[in-house]
Structure 1
């Protein structure tokens, strides 16, 4: 799929592709190319794409296929007009039963609550489901939000506003003073997973 440089902005999109760059959305399990509106891994190809990792054939083969397509590891989709939307990183998807849940979608819902300052969603191990979405929430001062209110809010918003599938729900909540982030603002999910597994997180 090749998309020219023309292009107005579209809310929620990172825009259209640069000229001379090709892209396609691929089912990460089957390698099948997907159409507009379908979510999969973003593959890129063009003169500006790297040729590989110097001295590391294994890493190169894992990232580039034989035709020169770069596997970005990003879960994305194109709309009918060629605008690209990034959903999440594939490696960060939560494997709930037979489904994959993007943490960023649930974080967006959580952050829309007027009593929530910040939030992050991570996988929490579950015997029956494999993993369940767990939310770390920073509340506004003097907020009375509890675990049930947070989960009910997400379920309602997901169903009525965002049309999110029923399996995309928060199933565990912990309240925290601040979400750990890198200097670039990236959520340090591994720290939160470790905190959840340690059992020492605040639930006040």
Structure 2
């Protein structure tokens, strides 16, 4: 009698980025698809797939085929589910490869929050689509790619910067053990003074690179990503990146760094 082995693993809370993808690949000896909120697999050969799920959506609502070569995609909507991606401000439908808010409707999504009309109105649009709060885009074949939480997106001169993209570039540097990118308020002088967000990085050094400087980190990133995504907000070295119990970066704690910095400068 032949018995096969199987396993199931999951990754939740936020998108599984390429760094962890490679670590799993090396540890388990096969290629892993990255997804959002859930990544699972089973089978003797280590077959795997990516999916998108959310409590308010009733669980998994998209799935990538095992044989898919779209490694970063969470697949296409399951039967009965409808996805749309809309512009943050205009609420108009986005064309392919244009980031916007991912919205989902289907037979199993929540109809309302129990005895909480205010929360229901904030979660659902007039057509019953759930506002997921995730930034995403779709390609020409309808595959969905989740980027970051909308609240973490950095808005710079009308352009959108996904922290995860910059973080992925930073993690490729051998002197960086961990990092997180957040938006920093920066005033621009001219005929009028106004504020905009610029990317800033918090970096944990690899002990083998004690002399790594902020200038070196900024130079490393320059040229590897679009100019407007470069670290104009600065690079700050910290002993560790604050994370929640489930491993998500607690970005509000990093943003408080500048509040403390301003308060100290007033003393």
TM-score by length of 2: 0.67
Q: 2:196 aligns with which of 130, 137, 147?
A: 130
For each residue in 1:35-72, what CA deviation from the matched residue of structure 2 results, as whole angstroms up to 9, or x when unmatched?
22121111101011111212221221111012111111
Return 5+ residue gaps in structure 1 as ranges.
Answer: 159-164
Change beyond 3 A, Cα 1:152–1:5: closer
Corresponding position: 1:150 with 2:217 = yes
Q: 1:93·1:101 contact (CA, 8 Å) conserved in 2?
A: yes
Residues 5 and 198 of structure 1, relative CA distance in 2, 3 Å threshold: closer
Aligned residues: 192
Q: CA deviation at 1:180?
A: 0.8
**1:175 and 2:241 are equivalent in the alignment:** no
Q: How does 1:35-184 map to 2 (within 5 A)?
A: 35-128=95-188, 129-143=195-209, 144-158=211-225, 165-171=226-232, 172-184=234-246
- Residue segments in structure 2 that go unaligned for 5+ positions in a row: 1-60, 189-194, 263-267
Match in the other structure for 1:198: 260
Contact 2:81–2:104 (Cα < 8 Å) also in 1: yes
SS at match of 1:33: coil
Q: Is the 8 A contact 2:175 2:208 kept in 1?
A: no
Structure 1 counterpart SS, 2:224: helix
Native 8 Å contact 1:5 1:19 kept in 2: no
C-alpha distance 141-12 of structure 1, shift in aligned 2 (>3 A): same
Aligned counterparts of 1:190 and 1:178: Cα–Cα separation in 2: 15
- C-alpha displacement at 1:195, in angstroms? 2.1
